[in-house]
Structure 1
Amino acid sequence: MPLKTTLFKICLFTLALALVSYKWAEDDFSKLIVSRLQEYRKIFPQEKAFLHIDKPYYVAGDTLWFGAYLAEGSVHFADSASRVLYVDLIEKRTGKNISLKRVKLDGGYGSGEIKLDDALPVGAYTIRAYTNWMRNFPEDYFFHKDVYVFNNETNNPETSTSALDVQFFPEGGQLVTGLSTRVGFKAIDESGLGADVTGFVLDQKNDTIVALKSEHLGMGRFPLQPVAGQIYTAYLRKKSGPYQRFVFPVVKPEGFTMMVNNLTTTDKMRILVYANFPDNVEKDVNIVAHTRGLVAFAAKGKVSKKGLQINIPTSSLPDGITQLTLFDSQNKPVSERLIFVDHGERLHLKINKNQDSYNPREKTEIEIMATDTAGKPVETILSVAVTDGGQIAQQPYDQNIISYLLLSSDLKGHIEQPAYYFDTTKTDRKIKLDILMMTQGWRRFDWADVLQENHSAPTRFVEQGFSVQGEVKKGNKKLAEKVILSVFLTNDSINTFLTTETGESGRFSLDNLIFDDSLNVRLQGMNTKNSAGLNIILAPFDPPKFTVLKIPFYPITVDAVRMSEYLKRAEEYLEIERKIRASREKLLREVTIRGKRAEERDSRKLYSRADASIKVTPQMTGGANTVLDMLQGRVAGVSVMGSGPNARVSIRGGRNEPTFLLDGMPVDKELITSLSVFDVESIDVLKGASAAIYGSRGGGGVISILTKRGNSNYDYSKDVTLGVTVAKIAGFDTPKKFYEPRYDLKRPEDARPDYRTTIHWAPMLRTGKDGKVKFSYFNTDASTNVNIRVEALTTWGVPGSAETVYSVR
């Protein structure tokens, strides 16, 4: 990693030595571009989330398991800034949010699962992942993956075969009269996927200018030299279908074109810039290139009648998409082109099995070895999914962490079969990847945004934990002054008292709360006057909107026999699960336990017994304004002189006032006197030796006020009190352990048939210093082929992916 960083830092110097037909841009514009990009990245640093899920499709009642990775957007370091990742499941047809999970990230890694309800409608769904910070940007910045949910009655949907859409993309962005260029095109069918097409382009005389044929997943390109005054029309068709007419880009009378050759040699790219203007004068231009917001080079030159040729070495550019932008003499972007640089900077993952084939229910032992490009062992986090290949068809060249971080996350639109472009066995992959660069638009860095002088501050922040946010009003009116709020936070492991203050507008926020499952929250105004008139409104979590696309979606490729076997086995397995659950519930209902219930100790009390205790009744609250009013005259030795916050309290005539506790937490007397008497459950008084448990604080005695809401058995949902707001907020979801049978042990539950589709799931394995990690599991009853898929990301941003297959006979 240090070597690569050094190379990147000296990249500009290396490039400067190689420039021949132009010079390194040292003018104000290049400095402006660099500073604006740096400023933009400083204000709006990017994050990328990736989910490794166990299967491409599921049945209702199944469980979707996922491993989560969060990376910094430019260099892909494992991102430790955000610690909360939101993962939700969206029904594509309606946009309805089916499930929301809050995943705890540890250094950029996490895991979880989504239980699919038995009654979940059949159809297409999207699993989505994002952080609070990512919500400052469009939804396109989130991680999305489409999945399909079946049931045992599912039939493959019928689709029409006539719909076709074709778009054309001149290289550099425009067609200019008299300038030779290349035009990319992309054809998609009714499913939104690429369609193989053939066709031709006609001029106004209906003469054929060029023949067209897609090369890969509906994409292709062809050369063209537009003629002045001509309007072109394209006609294309799918195999055996009728020709359809499509609009062709308009030819502009003047402008620039930019062509890039990134394929002929591996160590450099060639940029050709041409211009056509009536004055025939040389044009000053600047060319800027950046990779994910990091400036790769900036150069300036003059475009003559012969054009401008620039040779740029690529050996020191980072892997991934580089955006080339041509700026005219007015510093306006006039042409753009994307290129992909691939040096093979990957994590190498080798999956070693202890044998080539296994018997049903036989133990399988796996070792994964992680090394860098030099063959040295690497310590990293990885996730592993093992599935039954006889039931689950792995989708061809499906998304993996390499293709997502380096490609899909930085391009506009759906990328079909993204892993194809990283399969080193495909000799044509770089050509097809270059065509993809011509037909997909840039998303993450738009020059209109980057070149602004002033940027609005982001509205959302990086979350280290959860937030309690809201607004305080006086009735329905805005506050005229700040208000101090008392906040009680409780759950099984937390019992905390806090205070916070609203802003001038009445808004407040408690941030970075870290807790699992859920948290009971009680807020009350601490103003000494009219606190009961305060209206405290908590802001609920509002998931980001989902854009519903009106495209029928059937994301999987699987033959009918395999699908039939999958649905049959899944229904059998889920039926067994239902019977087991029903049997357990029946046994629980029939069990009768006799005996004396042990009284639970109140966690709010450090003391075992109080010297005196007052149980608050409705009669006592009727004539009392404060807690101290209820205490006055009811406990021997306790004196209360005065009223409200000015009252003086003493126990046995002591000089020092007693320590006040509120649900076990030390507080000041002002807070005690601001409490509503209707909230108090009981008051305990500790005198002398009984108060010694509180050390020096107990020198003047202790008065412990216990509230109804502080009781762990209190039902917050039925509580309505003026000036007080109670709620329950969700915390981190605790990942469930993936169940696996142990066939080396005799257990009753392992006697049932075993045809699980996901055989083993391990979302957070860590390799050692030797680069190795080992794990084992037992195969199912199926005689089948078993698929193992591994995803990994090092802390310094190098991704890795691998898969293998073995047989069970």
Structure 2
Amino acid sequence: MIMVKPAVTFIILFLSIDCSYAQVQKDMTDYLRQKFIRYTETVFREEIFVHIDRDTYIAGEDIWFNLYLIDRKSNKPVFDDKIAYFELLSPENLPIIQKKIFIDKASGSGHMVLPDTLSSGTYTIRAYTSWMKNFLPYNCYMKDIEVYNALIRKPFRRKIYSDDSVSANKPEGINSGRSGSGLKVSSNNSGSGMLELIIRSDPEFRSDYGNMIYILIHTHGILNHISSVIISDDTAIIRVPESKLLTGVNHITLFDTGLRPLAERFIYTPQKYNELLKMNTSLKYKTREKIVLDLEIENKPGVAVDEGRMSISVSPLIADSHKTGIDDYLLFGSEFGIKIQKITGSKKPEEYTVGFIDSLLLSARSNWIDWDKVLARDQTDLKYPVERKDHFLTGRLISADREIPVDNKYILLSSPGKVATFQYARTDNLGNFGFKINIDESVSDLIIQPDDPDDKYRISIESPFSLRYAHSEVFSDSAGGLIPSHVLKQGINYQVNKIYETSFSDSKIVADTQPVKSFRFYGKPDIGLVMSDYITLPVMEEVFQELLPGVLLKRKKTVCDLTIIDPVTRRNFGFTPGMLVDGVIIKDPSIIAGLDPELVERIDVIKSNYMVGIYVFHGIVSLITKAGDYSNVKLPDYAVRMPYRVIDPVGSFKSPDYSGSAIMEEHIPDFRNTLYWDPSIKPDKNGNVRIEFYASDIVSEYEIAVEGISGEGKMISLKKIIRVE
């Protein structure tokens, strides 16, 4: 028998405990890493930036805009989504204008006309995708604009947002490392290439939570650092190589051994601004002179520069103002509830100091990284999917007498026409249902009804626009009668254009969508009866009896019955077949019996069971009228019929052409408030593009603003000042 000395036994025991302790640390950091990565991949964050032609408008004017869709994690364009939802909200957060914008290759343009009845005040532009609706009211683009109406003498209504309306709820017990807590975290950037994180804890904290914590650092969803930290003393210092930190806002979170978040801190790592776009132009022009802008995008080998997308606006320069560019906006995006355009004022992004940004971040909260959801056992189901190929039309089935949702019921969608199409959906436990609609500009005629014809059911169609808004209050400006001088000039220009009936909106731009060719959902029928091939019979019962063998339409007093004989067993199926008129499902055979045969063009019959997904038709009898629009049938009370357009048409900006001498000398004044707008600038394969337009009759300094995304996926933002004299 081999005897082991006590000292050796102690060493072995100590090493085994130490190894076990180290393994626990590794397991916990791996678990935290996996949960974080999974969350950022499944609950990914989209951002929208909207480039508009101006920030100040007169009621009745046009607003021109172009939006860009970006993935927050990669900071690259998003090509999946095909629809953006664009809104103009009143000072009271009521929707004034709503548009559905087609997105092509992460970009989409739009146009709207402000009602001339708007009173002066702060109005809000809001834009989001279907996916972003899951996280509203925070995850959307929001920008305040000022609208003035000199003809309506009312005080200027100014919108003020509540501080807590733009911050997500932090997990219980978490703090930002400020005084009053037992655990504090601060940072020190000495410029040595290492970021020092200073963690201070008091004895009471270490007694309650132990002497080990975990630290995780990420930048817009990309994991930079994760480790365990021993805090045996009042102060522990962690050194993280600055090379590990991405530029932007770095989010630092400390966890206890149970992975409960205890403290967090946000710090700023400066961005490197590279001049991706250059502009060559003269700085001075005369009125009605041709303005020429030569743009050149950085051309790298292997990069398809002609795949870049840019938009340009040219409008009068307003003193002491700085238009928020796409690079400005994406510093915070919508994640932290910080309205960059409200804070930066006339600062340019390259002028932001680390101290300035860090001071803004002291009270910040991420409304994306919710640690309760990150570390949850199961991911939360999200209602609104990405609209990659189709638009999702949603609604609820409600019991009309008790106003409660009805679950596990089929809902049917039809579109009246001579080609029968069919979709079905089943309600969930909240009564919700949804259908896929092709993305195009056409107006569809839709009929939605429950499969069970019960008058006690009510269908409620959900608006595609969200009803969740950031909380705000409205204050009447005490100096409401004082209108800024540049606004007075804009107002005069607008009135002159209106007097001369000058419009700068041209023909509609057709979206590059793919129309879907309709086919009969039931394919080739067993019987295809063309009524004009036969003599006209007086009633539909005779049509079925004489011309449709094996299909019986019988009337018994006030009740009608429609059946199909099984061609194999030669027996009645025992179920009423699916019945359609002009592609719309009907439930009452007397509707078919009551049709005038003169109005019917064709009858199709499927004599066997036919399945669409898991929905079963016990045969099909489909009547197509000559009108083909379901106008000969009364819509039942439980059904909903509505015209529906998926994306809205977009107008184009019309810029005057003064190349001819006669036009140059015409006396109609040109008082454009927006000198030029183009939402779709595309460089050639060498990265060059020339833009030409004419100056107006207004002598002023103009700001040229170019925003966009390069072929490499980098953000482009350029401002330049020219003068017309």
Alignment partner for residue 333 of structure 1, among 258, 261, 265? 261
Alignment of 1:489-528 (within 5 A): 497-503=421-427, 508-523=433-448
Q: CA deviation at 1:578?
A: 8.2
Change (3 A) 1:513 1:538: farther
* 1:532 to 1:287, Cα distance in 2 relative to 1, 3 A: closer
- Report the 3-state secondary structure (helix = DSSP H, G, I; strand = E; otherwise coil) of the residue aligned with 2:473: coil
Once the two structures are superposed, the pairs formed by residues 38-437 of structure 1 within 5 Å of their partners are: 38-92=37-91, 94-153=92-151, 173-176=176-179, 251=180, 255-262=182-189, 264-265=190-191, 267-277=193-203, 283-305=211-233, 307-344=235-272, 348-353=276-281, 355-371=282-298, 378-379=305-306, 380-389=308-317, 393=318, 396-415=321-340, 416-418=342-344, 423-424=349-350, 426=351, 429-437=353-361
2-side partners of 1:456 and 1:46: how far apart?
15
Match in the other structure for 1:776: 692
SS of corresponding position for 2:44: coil
Give the secondary-structure state (helix, strand or coil) at the position aligned to 1:409. Answer: coil
Match of 2:466 in 1: 543
Which residue matches 1:684? 601
CA drift of 1:768 comes to 2.6
- In the alignment, what sits opposite 2:33? 34
Cα distance per residue 1:223-242 (max 9 Å; x no partner): xxxxxxxxxxxxxxxxxxxx
Aligned to 1:7: none
Post-superposition Cα deviations, 1:484-513, rounded to whole Å, max 9, x if no partner, equal 7361256xxx96622425357675432142
Structure 1 pair 37–674 and aligned structure 2 pair: CA distance change class (3 A): farther
Match of 2:643 among 717, 728, 753: 728
TM-aligned CA distance change 1:663 to 1:547, over 3 Å: same
In the other structure, the counterpart of 1:802 is: 718
Instruction: Pick closer, same or farther for the CA change 1:68–1:257 going to 2, 3 Å.
Output: same
TM-score, normalised via structure 2 length: 0.74
| Offset, 1:344 | 1.2
Q: SS at the partner of 2:422?
A: strand
Amino acid at match of 1:55: R
d(CA) in 1 for partners of 2:590, 2:397 = 17
SS of 1:448's equivalent in the other structure is helix
Q: Indicate the residue corresponding to 1:631 in structure 2.
A: 543
Over 3 Å counting, the alpha-carbon distance change for 1:351 and 1:24 in structure 2 is: farther
Q: SS at the partner of 1:562? A: helix
Distance in 1, matches of 2:488 and 2:535, equals 69
The residue aligned with 1:646 is 563
Contact 1:49/1:142 (<8 A) preserved: yes
Offset at residue 352 of structure 1 (A): 1.8
Residue 126 of structure 1 deviates from its aligned partner by 0.4
| Conserved? CA contact 1:397–1:417, under 8 Å | no
Following superposition, the deviation at residue 755 of structure 1 comes to: 0.8
Given that residues 215 and 255 in structure 2 are in contact (C-alpha distance below 8 angstroms), is that contact kept between their aligned partners in structure 1?
A: yes
How many residues end up aligned between the 2 structures?
626
1:234-254 Cα shifts (integer Å, max 9, x gaps): xxxxxxxxxxxxxxxxx45xx
Q: 1:782 to 1:76 in 2, by over 3 A?
A: same
Q: Which residue of 2 aligns with 1:235?
A: none
**Matching of residues 545-560 of structure 1 within 5 Å:** 545-550=468-473, 552=475, 560=484
Q: Is the Cα contact below 8 Å between 1:423 and 1:429 reproduced in 2? A: no
For the structure 1 residues 685 and 125, does the alpha-carbon distance in structure 2 shift closer, same or farther, using more than 3 Å as the test?
closer
Map Cα deviations across residues 662-697 of structure 1 (whole Å, 9 max, x no partner).
7887x99x999696556778123699xxxxxxxxxx
Distance, in Å, in 1 between the alignment partners of 2:25 and 2:300 is 36
Determine which of 533, 543, 548 is the counterpart of 1:611.
Answer: 533
Could you say which residue in structure 2 is the equivalent of 1:759? 675
Q: SS of the residue aligned with 2:501? A: helix
User: Are the structure 2 counterparts of residues 579 and 324 from structure 1 closer, same or farther at C-alpha, using a change threshold of 3 Å?
Assistant: closer
AA in 2 matched with 1:646 = T
Asked if 1:488 corresponds to 2:410, the answer is no
Which residue type is aligned with residue 437 of structure 1? L
- Which residue of 1 is the match for residue 377 of structure 2? 453
Counterpart-to-counterpart distance in 2, 1:366 and 1:24: 63
Match of 2:490? Answer: 566
| CA pair 127-272 structure 1, distance change in 2 beyond 3 A | same
Per-residue CA deviation, residues 180-223 of structure 1 (Å, 9 max, x unaligned), is xxxxxxxxxxxxxxxxxxxxxxxxxxxxxxxxxxxxxxxxxxxx
1:363 Cα deviation from its structure 2 partner = 1.5
Deviation string for 1:14-40 (max 9, x for gaps)? xxxxxxxxx999622211221121222
After superposition, the C-alpha distances for 1:454-497 in whole angstroms (9 at most, x for unaligned) are 2321122222332333456798588798547361256xxx9662
The aligned amino acid for 1:54 is D
SS of residue paired to 2:240: strand
Residues 137-177 of structure 1: CA deviation (Å, up to 9, x unaligned)? 130111100011102358996999xxx99xxxxx973454x
Equivalent in 699, 702, 715 of residue 786 of structure 1: 702
| Superposition deviation, residue 85 in structure 1 | 0.7
Distance in 1 (CA, whole Å) between partners of 2:407 and 2:211 is 62
Which SS does the other structure have where 1:736 is aligned?
Answer: strand
1:423 Cα deviation from its structure 2 partner: 3.6
Cα distance in 2 for partners of 1:521, 1:787 equals 46
Task: Say if 1:521 and 1:661 are closer, same or farther in 2 by CA, change over 3 A.
Answer: same
Offset, 1:804:
0.5
| Structure 1 residue 279: Cα displacement | 9.1
Give 1:106 deviation, angstroms: 1.2
1:466 corresponds to 2:378 = no
For 1:67 and 1:548, the matched residues in 2 are separated by 26
Contact 1:518 1:730 in 2 (8 A): yes
TM-score relative to the length of structure 1: 0.67
Residues 246-294 of structure 1 deviation map (CA, whole Å, 9 limit, x = unaligned): xxxxx45xx12221123x4284322112222259889323221011222
CA contact (8 A) 2:401 2:456 kept: no
Determine what percentage of the aligned residue pairs are the same residue. Answer: 21
> Whole-Å Cα distance in 2 between the matches of residues 480 and 95 of structure 1?
33
* 1-structure distance, mates of 2:499, 2:148: 15
AA matched with 1:362: E
Please give the per-residue CA displacement for 1:636-655, whole angstroms capped at 9, x wherever unaligned: x77686335535799xxxxx
In 2 relative to 1, CA 508–679 (structure 1 residues): closer, same or farther, beyond 3 Å?
Answer: farther
Paired residues for 1:570-585 under 5 Å: 570-577=494-501
RMSD of the TM alignment (CA)?
4.6
Q: Give the Cα separation in 2 of the matches to 1:71 and 1:404.
A: 11
Amino acid at match of 1:52: H
Q: Which residue type is aligned with residue 767 of structure 1?
A: P
Q: 2 CA distance for matches of 1:738 and 1:638?
A: 58
Q: Secondary structure at the match of 1:360?
A: coil
CA contact (8 A) 1:345 1:373 kept: no
1:727 Cα offset (Å)? 1.4
Q: What is the DSSP-based 3-state SS (H/G/I as helix, E as strand, rest coil) of the residue aligned with 2:467?
A: coil
For 1:710-749, what aligned pairs fall within 5 Å after superposition? 710-711=628-629, 720-722=635-637, 724-745=639-660
Q: Which amino acid aligns with 1:370?
A: I
Structure 1 unaligned residues grouped into runs of 5+: 1-22, 166-170, 177-250, 582-602, 651-659, 688-702
Closer/same/farther in 2, CA of residues 419 and 580 from structure 1, 3 Å limit: closer
Q: Unaligned regions of 5+ residues in structure 2, if any?
A: 1-21, 164-173, 506-518, 521-527, 554-560, 568-577, 605-620
